[in-house]
């Protein structure tokens, strides 16, 4: 079977029939900048395109500061900023609060501050463990890190990986976005995935001006 | 581990409290101390409790009242909010120390961050406890609505949520009022749900929320749906305002239901649709939509706790009064799902109550649904819920038994074994009016002749109880249900039962009830007399026992101004009592003999039928007691002519009766 051939001219004619408002495109860009945390770019974009963001742009900076605090091991600072931003986030999300406390415990263990770690676990985390069996289990697992002289030999050494910090930071970031009525992920990457999928579908049916490079929109 | 819980505040915490208690410290130091406390308590119940015990709440309320530094005020209002979050004693203490008033006055601040913080704390207090009374007065409503102008969505959301909670709590209050009359606070002008809804609307609250709803933003749409659902609850005027609004909120709500992924948004959208449906303002095409919605609501019962808890009651409201909807819901396995909640010991009270309510509606009309309840083996759970200490559960369980008791088949097969008698009779004295009404309605069905529970109920002293409640002036529905139950109890009853019933009730009292100004009570009282007189070989019904009052009373009921039901019952009574010769004579000497003629051409065919029955019974059948004299009298009054004119009546039963009567005259 011969594939149908669509010329560049035909293709562009068809494209121009689809009505996409500039405003929607701008919103898409703003959505990406806000969620990914590009505060300055978002502010500039807002100024130039007139697209307003539905969140206070300063909160982007806060969100990024929270993320970097946790990724650098300063959980306490992260908690302080999030509580300034919106105290409800940690007050109504026991699991997230527990994970932050757990991360704090992990950081203490990482620094070898054993007695502080034990004190913290007893005074701050034990009561949460009593309220929730799942938390207790996770707490016990974390504490067992202390049983190894060389924590890297522990079967749960992964708790000390950087990826654990990223996981905690990601969970907190998602909760902040939800509290601001934002999606957890920007829309743009999903749309690009859809585009890729659609092209693969089309490839088997016809020849058309195919986008080769998604970054600069270059055709084949 | 419990010993650790006994912990006390650490040094830094105590130091922070001390810094804040004294005015002599610099403002920066005080702000830092407040921040320290804030970061300690957020998310941490134990710390909250320790700080509350150390007197932190009055301390921070005092700061809110007196302090002028906005940064400290922001910290203090966040702290008050956190003390109210997920800990009951926190919100109680906040109310006790009047912490809500300064929060409300902070809403008018020019500092947006401060407004945000105060509004958020108010929302928390409203969600976890009850909305402060001040949100019901004019100033409060205006302030809340002004929050919709705040640039932050989260503050708008707070306003919508507090308004919704305001309505919800008035609604719940009205069901509590049912239990015992409560004094209405005079300074609250909006003490009823309807008034509050309309008040919010007048100040353009509903319109503002519609604007937000139709603009595509997720989380704040949820809060608006919640609020619109409450503002249109049981309110036809506001429901049609939403449905007819040119911004097309109805379309938006339907789309949110269809397309939004969040189960909570789906449920809130259905809740709005449910209000519109109950207001009967939706076009008929919507019934198709509702049919499709029903199975989805049942699926929502598998979702997160808050959705699961409320879904059954939304289902119940949607299908009430519509047998077809009830069928669709039953066929979508609603009863199995609801029954599993009743069997689940970890289910919350609210979930149990709402499940029982939904089961009650599902079984209200359909025999198949009742069978599903039996098959689901949840009768024991329903009966034991009658003993619950939670009034709402008792009321809902009682509604279930009422619906189930409508099934003759289930009654005969002792659907409820005799264990139901004791709790049910106890419920006739329940503090809740709703429960008493529902219990008395269930009893009506349980005392029917073929019910195996009849004897158990009698053994528990039902007669005394019924008679006592019939004469209690408080509530019409209970009086009606009780006299109805008495009537059912006497239907084809043994003479001994009839005799004890009359001993309890008294003949004079029965006459009083027949004369009751309420026609439904009067109708049932006539039916009691009718059942008493049926096959009355022991002459329990006689002119002497009624002190000569019976025939004159019946005479007075036979005026055209009385409702047809009363006339019909009176005629039935006459039919039954004239088998007694003495009574027959006094009827023959009363104006009843003239009145029957008019009722033979009454527009209701069943009244035509009984009035002819009466004539037949008055003439015959015992031929040796001057029946021909009586026949002659009727003939003179024009009865035969009237009967002949009815030979071709369009009603077949009337025709048959006419034939019988004419034959009697030919004798």
A-chain CB neighbours of B220 within 8 Å are 181
| Model confidence pTM above 0.80 | no
Q: What are the beta bridge partners of residue B646?
A: none
Which chain B residue is nearest to residue A130, measuring alpha carbons? Answer: B1
Query: What is the per-residue pLDDT for B186?
Result: 39
Please indicate, yes or no, whether residues A119 and A33 belong to a single structural domain of this protein: no
Q: Is the model's pLDDT at B359 over the cut of 90?
A: yes
B-chain CB neighbours of A129 within 8 Å are 1
B-chain CB neighbours of A130 within 8 Å are 1, 5
CB contact under 8 A, A179 and B154: yes
pLDDT in tens, A165-179: 999 999 999 999 888
Instruction: Compute CA distances A135 → A101, A109, B85, B87, B346, whole Å.
Output: 11, 18, 20, 19, 20
Distance, C-alpha B253 to centroid of its chain: 27
Please indicate, yes or no, whether residues A163 and A205 belong to a single structural domain of this protein: no
Please indicate, yes or no, whether residues A36 and A75 belong to a single structural domain of this protein: no
pLDDT in tens, B123-181: 888 887 777 777 777 888 888 899 998 887 778 988 999 999 999 988 887 765 554 44
Smallest CA-to-CA distance from B593 within B624, B539, B623, B632 is with B632
CB contact under 8 A, B219 and A178: yes
CB contact under 8 A, B42 and A180: no
Please indicate, yes or no, whether residues A194 and A117 belong to a single structural domain of this protein: no
Given a contact cutoff of 8 angstroms between Cβ atoms, the answer to whether B37 and B51 are in contact is: yes
Please indicate, yes or no, whether residues A149 and A188 belong to a single structural domain of this protein: no
| B42, B85, B152: residue with CB nearest A83 | B42
Please indicate, yes or no, whether residues A141 and A34 belong to a single structural domain of this protein: no
Q: What are phi and psi of B603, to 5 degrees?
A: -70, -25
Residue B219 at interface with chain A, using a CB cutoff of 8 Å: yes
CB contact under 8 A, A91 and B219: no
Residue B43 at interface with chain A, using a CB cutoff of 8 Å: yes
Question: What's A197's domain CATH number?
Answer: 1.20.960
Please indicate, yes or no, whether residues A123 and A89 belong to a single structural domain of this protein: yes
User: What number is the average pLDDT over the span B437-462?
Assistant: 82
**pLDDT-derived band at B512, boundaries 50, 70, 90:** very high
pLDDT in tens, B198-239: 999 999 999 999 999 998 655 688 999 999 999 999 999 999
Q: Which residue ranges in chain A fall short of pLDDT 70?
A: 1, 54
Which residue range(s) make up the domain with A139?
Answer: 56-179
User: What number is the average pLDDT over the span B477-506?
Assistant: 92
Contacts across the A-B interface (CB distance below 8 Å): 73
Which of A127, A128, A136 is the best mutation test for B, with the most CBs of B within 10 A? Answer: A127
End-to-end CA gap in chain A: 23
| B7, B43, B46: residue with CB nearest A91 | B43
Please indicate, yes or no, whether residues A30 and A119 belong to a single structural domain of this protein: no
Instruction: Compute CA distances B435 → B387, B438, B473, whole Å.
Output: 12, 5, 17
User: What number is the average pLDDT over the span B235-249?
Assistant: 95
Please indicate, yes or no, whether residues A118 and A79 belong to a single structural domain of this protein: yes
**pLDDT-derived band at B191, boundaries 50, 70, 90:** low
Tally of domains in chain A: 2
Please indicate, yes or no, whether residues A31 and A92 belong to a single structural domain of this protein: no
| Angle made by CA atoms B431, B433, B439, in degrees to the nearest 5 | 95
Which conformational region is residue B321 in: left (phi greater than 0), alpha (psi within -120 to 50 degrees), or beta?
left
Residue B559 at interface with chain A, using a CB cutoff of 8 Å: no
- Nearest Cα of chain A lies from the Cα of B145 at a distance, in angstroms, of 20
pLDDT in tens, B6-46: 468 888 999 999 999 988 889 999 999 999 999 999 999 99
Instruction: Compute CA distances A163 → A29, A64, A209, whole Å.
Output: 28, 17, 41
**Start-end of H helices in A7-93:** 8-17, 22-36, 39-49, 58-71, 75-85, 88-91
Q: Is the model's pLDDT at B182 over the cut of 70?
A: no
CA separation for the pair A125, A156 (Å, rounded): 19
Please indicate, yes or no, whether residues A86 and A126 belong to a single structural domain of this protein: yes
Please indicate, yes or no, whether residues A87 and A130 belong to a single structural domain of this protein: yes
Query: What is the per-residue pLDDT for B107?
Result: 87
ipTM: 0.80
What lies within 8 Å, CB to CB, of B358 at 6+ separation is B312, B313, B315, B316, B334, B338
- Nearest Cα of chain B lies from the Cα of A196 at a distance, in angstroms, of 25
Given a contact cutoff of 8 angstroms between Cβ atoms, the answer to whether B622 and B634 are in contact is: no
Helix (H, G, I), strand (E, B), or coil: what is residue A147?
helix
A-chain CB neighbours of B38 within 8 Å are 83, 87
């Amino acid at each position: 079977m011969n594939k149908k051939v669509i010329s560049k001219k035909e293709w562009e004619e068809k494209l121009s029939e689809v009505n996409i408002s500039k405003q929607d495109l701008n919103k898409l860009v703003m959505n990406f900048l806000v969620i990914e945390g590009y505060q300055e770019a978002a502010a500039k974009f807002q100024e130039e395109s007139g697209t307003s963001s539905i969140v206070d742009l300063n909160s982007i900076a806060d969100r990024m500061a929270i993320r970097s605090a946790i990724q650098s091991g300063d959980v306490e600072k992260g908690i302080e900023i999030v509580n300034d931003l919106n105290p409800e986030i940690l007050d109504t999300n026991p699991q997230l609060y527990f994970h932050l406390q757990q991360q704090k415990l992990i950081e203490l263990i990482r620094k070898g501050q054993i007695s502080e770690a034990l004190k913290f676990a007893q005074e701050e985390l034990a009561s949460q463990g009593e309220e929730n069996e799942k938390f207790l289990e996770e707490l016990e697992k974390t504490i067992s890190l202390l049983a190894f002289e060389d924590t890297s030999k522990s079967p749960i050494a992964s708790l000390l990986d950087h990826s654990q910090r990223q996981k905690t930071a990601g969970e907190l970031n998602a909760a902040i976005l939800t509290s601001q009525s934002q999606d957890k992920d920007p829309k743009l990457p999903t749309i690009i995935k859809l585009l890729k999928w659609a092209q693969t579908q089309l490839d088997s049916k016809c020849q058309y001006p195919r986008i080769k490079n998604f970054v600069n929109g270059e055709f084949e | 581990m419990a010993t650790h819980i006994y912990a006390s505040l650490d040094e830094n915490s105590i130091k922070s409290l001390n810094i804040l208690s004294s005015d002599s410290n610099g403002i920066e130091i005080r702000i830092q101390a407040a921040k320290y406390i804030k970061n300690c308590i957020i998310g941490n119940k134990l710390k909250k409790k320790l700080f509350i015990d150390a007197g932190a709440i009055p301390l921070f309320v005092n700061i809110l009242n007196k302090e002028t530094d906005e940064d400290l005020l922001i910290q203090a209002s966040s702290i008050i909010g956190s003390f109210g979050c997920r800990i009951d004693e926190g919100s109680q203490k906040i109310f006790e120390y009047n912490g809500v008033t300064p929060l409300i006055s902070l809403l008018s601040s020019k500092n947006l961050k401060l407004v945000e913080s105060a509004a958020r704390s108010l929302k928390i207090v409203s969600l976890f406890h009850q909305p402060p009374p001040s949100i019901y007065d004019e100033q409060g409503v205006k302030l809340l609505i002004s929050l919709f102008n705040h640039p932050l969505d989260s503050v708008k959301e707070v306003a919508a949520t507090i308004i919704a909670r305001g309505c919800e709590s008035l609604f719940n209050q009205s069901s509590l009022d049912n239990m015992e009359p409560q004094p209405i606070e005079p300074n609250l002008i909006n003490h009823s749900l309807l008034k509050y809804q309309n008040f919010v609307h007048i100040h353009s609250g509903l319109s503002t929320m519609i604007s937000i709803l139709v603009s595509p933003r997720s989380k704040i749409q949820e809060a608006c749906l919640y609020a619109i659902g409450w503002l249109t609850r049981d309110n036809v005027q506001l429901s049609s305002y939403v449905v007819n609004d040119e911004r097309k909120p109805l379309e938006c709500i339907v789309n949110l239901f269809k397309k939004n992924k969040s189960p909570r948004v789906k449920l809130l959208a259905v809740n709005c649709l449910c209000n519109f449906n109950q207001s009967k303002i939706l076009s008929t095409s919507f019934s198709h939509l509702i049919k499709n919605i029903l199975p989805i609501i049942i699926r929502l019962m598998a979702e997160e706790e808050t959705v699961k808890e409320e879904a059954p009651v939304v289902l119940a409201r949607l299908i009430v009064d519509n047998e077809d909807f009830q069928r669709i819901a039953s066929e979508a396995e609603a009863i199995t799902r609801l029954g599993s909640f009743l069997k689940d010991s970890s289910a919350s009270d609210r979930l149990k109550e709402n499940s029982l309510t939904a089961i009650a509606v599902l079984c209200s009309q359909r025999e198949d649904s009742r069978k599903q309840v039996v098959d689901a083996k949840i009768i024991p759970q329903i009966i034991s819920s009658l003993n619950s200490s939670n009034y709402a559960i008792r009321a809902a369980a009682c509604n279930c038994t009422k619906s189930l008791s409508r099934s003759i088949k289930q009654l005969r097969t002792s659907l409820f074994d005799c264990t139901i008698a004791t709790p049910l009779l106890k419920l006739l004295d329940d503090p809740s009016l709703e429960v008493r009404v529902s219990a008395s309605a269930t009893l009506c069905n349980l005392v029917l002749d073929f019910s195996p529970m009849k004897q158990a109920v009698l053994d528990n002293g039902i007669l005394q109880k019924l008679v006592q409640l019939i004469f209690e002036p408080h509530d019409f529905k209970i009086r009606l249900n009780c006299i109805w139950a008495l009537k059912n109890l006497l239907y084809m009853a043994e003479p001994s039962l009839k005799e004890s019933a009359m001993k309890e009730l008294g003949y004079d009292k029965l006459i009083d009830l027949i004369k009751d100004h309420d026609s439904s009570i009067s109708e049932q009282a006539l039916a009691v007399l009718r059942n008493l007189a049926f096959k009355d070989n022991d002459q329990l019904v006689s002119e002497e026992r009624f002190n000569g009052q019976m025939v004159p009373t019946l005479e007075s009921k036979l005026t055209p101004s009385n409702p047809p039901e009363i006339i019909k019952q009176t005629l039935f009574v006459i039919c039954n009592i004239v088998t007694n010769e003495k009574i027959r004579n006094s009827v023959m000497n009363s104006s009843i003999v003239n009145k029957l003629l008019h009722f033979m051409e009454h527009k209701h065919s069943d009244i035509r039928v009984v009035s002819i029955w009466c004539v037949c019974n008055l003439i015959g059948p015992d031929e040796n007691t001057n029946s021909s004299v009586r026949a002659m009298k009727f003939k003179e009054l024009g009865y035969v002519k009237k009967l002949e004119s009815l030979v071709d009546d369009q009603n077949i039963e009337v025709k048959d009766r006419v034939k019988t009567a004419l034959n009697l005259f030919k004798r």
